[in-house]
A and B are shown apart, each in its own frame.
Chain A
């Protein structure tokens, strides 16, 4: 059941990314090109997602436990520290250089392009490097 739900959730998420235009790097870079010919369409993606997320999340997190697990695995960190800012800043630069954030990068593997695969491998190596350089504090929720 848990496995099927993870698959189903991924399917819906991927379908949403493809429909929204987030897997199209031309659209993404056009959205980030505020000082050029700005393409505001992708603001509606965050709008649509937040409409659902903001209305349902506060209600769900009040539950004693989720439907299929013993407890919620939510991030405990509250602090706004140098790591959050540095990490966010580096991520944004990478996003602006190519047009992929992690979700669309993985989803675009469906298109079978070699450049997408190279991007994803480099992304995982970047994640590995962050651990090697001792730049992280939080542990994975297992």
Chain B
């Protein structure tokens, strides 16, 4: 199998899931929104089931295909993990979405707002990696 076929097929499955959720429940498959809604909204049930499915689907795909499970990054400081997680949570809630909500669903709806959001988070992601790896290389 060509190397790009895994990402493109995986991406198509993500697209199919998003379209399915929109067509049936009329919802945007934005994971950050679903995570927060599973905790804070009044309609928690479908959100928890979706998240359980997300974890189970990942496990099943590895079992079914034998694709190697990614190794746990071991040498990272605890503070870095916490800071990264907190920034992702803070940012996605302030900006109303993440890679799935703005990226896949928003761009699929031709939303200019989502195009701007996707461009911004991809840019700061690229800049962050550039700074960490090449400018302050080794300290993190």
Contact = CB atoms under 8 A, between A and B. Distances in A.
Interface residues of A, number: 117
Contacts of B39: 124, 127
A11 B133 CA distance: 34
Contacts of A42: 7
A89 B10 contact: no
Contact of A53 (B19, B43, B112, B117): B19
B7 A21 contact: yes
Contacts of B122: 32, 92
Contact of A5 (B20, B102, B109): B20
Contacts of B92: 87, 91, 102, 127
13 contacts: A15-B10, A20-B13, A32-B126, A61-B22, A87-B95, A88-B124, A92-B91, A94-B89, A95-B125, A110-B55, A115-B76, A118-B85, A125-B89
Contacts of A116: 72
A129 B124 contact: no
Contact of A41 (B3, B46, B87, B102): B3
Given A5-B25, A121-B85, A19 B13 contact: yes
Given A84-B116, A98-B80, A105 B85 contact: yes
Interface string A31-68: 01111100001111111111111101110110101111
Interface in B27-69: 27-29, 31-33, 35-37, 39-43, 45-47, 49-62, 65, 67, 69
